[in-house]
Amino acid sequence: MLKQTNYALSIKQPWAALVVAGIKTIEIRTWATSIRGRIFVHAASIPDKRPEGWAAIPEHLRTLAETVGGVIGAVDLLSCIGYRTAAKFKLDANKHLNDPSWFEGPQMYGFQFGSPAVLPFLRYKGNVRFFKVEELGE
């Protein structure tokens, strides 16, 4: 088997499930990235307790949203959008699903995703920022 290295991004649940289901198409971070292409979505071990994300989970995604500690899907990372103002951040609220009050200046970044896919769960240790995932393929 050819050794393949891919990148993964750890996202807290329920946000990770919303990303791989194609409901959340932008993931917000305080840092930019130059990575583009297919990446794995890792569901972090500790979920987000805030009710806003959980309210966005349709019943058919509940089990996926409760899955933590491994890879749950993949997406294409298309671009990195800079948000320099709360007003611009708010314009994309229907894509990133973050409350507009969560904007933290001077700048935030949105990782824009396409072609989401749910994959069979694979337990995998996560990390901060992007991390390499060895020998996984879609």
Peptide bond into 106 cis (omega under 30): yes
Query: Which pLDDT score, from 0 to 100, does residue 133 have?
Result: 86
Q: DSSP assignment of 8-66, as one string?
A: EEEE-TTHHHHHHTTS--EEEESS-----EEEEEEE-SS----HHHHHT--GGGHHHHT
Domains, the chain: 5-134 (2.30.130.30)
Per-residue pLDDT of the chain (138 residues; tens, 9 = 90+): 334 559 999 999 999 999 999 999 999 999 999 999 999 999 999 999 999 999 999 999 999 999 999 999 999 999 999 999 999 999 999 999 999 999 999 999 999 999 999 999 999 999 989 999 876 655
Query: Which residues, in sequence order, are bridge partners of residue 43?
Result: 11, 70
